[in-house]
Amino acid sequence: MTDNPTYRGTVYPWHCDHVGHMNVMWYVGKFDEATWNLFRQFGITAAHLRGGYGMAAVQQNITYKRELLAGDTVEVHSRLLEVREKVIRFVHEMRNSETGDVAAVCELTGVHMDRSTRKSCPFPEAVLAAAREALTGTAAPCAGG
């Protein structure tokens, strides 16, 4: 995982369900915000997306390990697992900022797409190069947020 978090936030009372812990919908939202901070590190930015491109999540697996309660602060740390011409696979680890306990782990696969054709398309070479550098550990770590 990255030393620098890709997301930091707080569990608010309205994030909690009838059992008193953070509801699953909020985990997904926080992981989504971490995803965009991770992508930014490789050049998948708002400007890139405004250029007619998009990212589609094609698989997402979440493992819940510990409860998060109202008032808890959280950090998400992320890392790439794989990058191919049109596909990126990565993992997020959500931790309780106070205790360091891992609350949840989310592994995702995303596909780069051309929004006009609604079909997958290759990442730009600069994005592929930056992602491959991160995979091999030759790039300096970036803060995600």
Confidence of residue 1 (pLDDT cuts 50, 70, 90): low
Confidence of residue 4 (pLDDT cuts 50, 70, 90): confident
Backbone angles phi and psi of 2, in degrees to 5: -70, 150
Whether the predicted pLDDT of 144 surpasses 60: no
Confidence of residue 2 (pLDDT cuts 50, 70, 90): low
SS3 134: helix
Backbone angles phi and psi of 23, in degrees to 5: -70, 150
Interval 48-106: pLDDT, tens = 999 999 999 999 999 999 999 999 999 999 999 999 999 999 999 999 999 999 999 99
- Taking residues 15-22, what's their average pLDDT? 96
Name the pTM for this structure.
0.90
Q: Which residues contact 118 (CB under 8 A, 6 or more apart)?
A: none
- Spatial separation of the C-alpha atoms in residues 64 and 23, rounded to whole Å: 11
Residue 140, pLDDT score: 45
- Taking residues 23-27, what's their average pLDDT? 97
7-136: CATH superfamily: Hotdog Thioesterase (3.10.129.10)
Q: Where are the domains of the chain?
A: 7-136
Backbone angles phi and psi of 121, in degrees to 5: -150, 160
